[in-house]
Structure 1
Amino acid sequence: MKRILVTGANGQLGSELAVLSAKYPQYEWIFTNRNKITLNDLDLLKVQLNEINPNIILNCGAYTAVDKAETEKELAFTINHLAVEVIAKYASDKNAKLIHISTDYVFDGSSSIALNEEAETNPINIYGESKRTGEIACLNVNPNSIILRTSWVYSKFGNNFVKTMQRLMQEKESINVVNDQISSPTYAADLAQAMIDILEHSEWIPGVYNYSNEGEISWYEFALTIKELGGYNCNVGGIPSSSYPTPAKRPEFSLLDKKKIKEVYNLDIPNYKESLKKIFIK
């Protein structure tokens, strides 16, 4: 029986994989949080990987506090770069399959067309820089890895934009949301299923792939869709990013082109609104 190690088990994606795992009893699933897999202690991480001895690693664990990363650069790079390198080295040495999760924040936002896997990367914040460095290390150490870049992840688990909007729209009469950052949301359950579909595919084809739900929207338009589906009466206004300054810059345009993953792995990717509806089903 193949043993799958899932890092970041308490996060949105790890939690969705835990839900799906019941449908795939042919695997032995090992879900680890930061107590069982220590991404900020590289020597301990090596020991833990050898103790667990997985055949497959789904690396969902990461440092994801985008704004805090600006002042916690060393920690962000340890987790998002150096720990990824250790995991990729283990996978290479043990001939284990590795799917590593990355981000649209490896781009600078200057594009006006959907970004494919060959598009030039140029991170504009520490988080994006740490994730891009992790991608490079992963592929250098283990070219047989698969890297999935994703964007605007949300789930019924954890903290995310959808949950925040649901709360604010019930608490406040009006809110403002930035309207000049464009991408597409990703329902973590869809991404989790895509990861399993890749594992179940007849052929393992390594490389970088993009995955998000279909659609091209701003955070403001995303909020309007949440308002519509939730039936909230809150007034939602659109504002430029300059009116909502944050420690870390965000790319203005980071829409991902999913053509490659759809063709190579024959994936059917839902529209963002169809997936968002599932959050509102009781």
Structure 2
Amino acid sequence: MSEQKIIPARNPGQVAIAIVLLFGVGLLIYLVISSPFITWAAIPQFILDETVVDGIKLTILFTVLAMVISIVAGALLAMMRLASNPVLVNFAGLYIWFFRGTPLLVQIIFWFNIQLFIPSINLGFVVLDTNSVVTAFVAALLALSLNEAAYMAEIMRGGLMAVDSGQGEAAKALGYTPVQAMLRIIFPQALRVIIPPIGNQTISMLKTTSLVSVVAAQDLLTRVQNIYARNFLIIELLIVASIWYLLMTTVASGLQYLIERRLGRATYEAPAVWRAAMRILRSEGSKG
């Protein structure tokens, strides 16, 4: 019997769309490159400019600090959402509702202007000027962290709920406290579900930090704006900023891929605590 040759089905609609897309992208690239109003020679001069590099360092610092704080706060909020105490549940729900429901830009401006209605902070033994405590850096970090914590809480909650409820019962059978069961049994297993969206949020945070330029927090975009306010090379400096944002998000995406691949490569096996608990439960059942 002769071997049958498989001929893929033709799809002229997809071919037409692809041609239109290629033409549109090519035209856009040509219009940008051929524009006489862009000084391309200025872009390499500012790529490694000291002011720009300082802005990059601060952008990375904002991202790292905001993500660390939001992950910790998000984990606490997620556990509060899953608690049996109605006060904890409602507080966490109200927090998530408020910070997800108001624009981040408004929150940044709010924290920056908090001294308008709280001019000083009285700690009893000392009175601090709010302006000296909530600087532009602190205001931006507070806004980024508290806002991101609301999203992290839902990510964490989804990951924790994805773990089989029997894991908690097995830990309880072995005498684990609820906190021990959460930290040692449930949370490590939830990481498989939690890590990918955390990676996406980190990449998003690298770009979201650009919003802090509204309070002159000296991130990458703020430094670029300061430069083009003097030399009027607006498009050129924005291209420089875009190149760096693309580079940072590309590196972050690569790291996320490596972490996800490592997690996905591991062969799942029921944890030792689960197997031990099952043996205990079976032995007690046989005695009964």
Provide the TM-score with structure 2 as the length reference. Answer: 0.22
Give the structure with the larger strand fraction. 1
Compute the TM-score of the two structures, normalised by the length of structure 1.
0.22
Report 1 or 2 for greater relative contact order, CA contacts < 8 Å, sequence distance ≥ 6: 2
Higher helix fraction: Structure 1 or Structure 2? 2
Q: Which has the larger radius of gyration?
A: 2
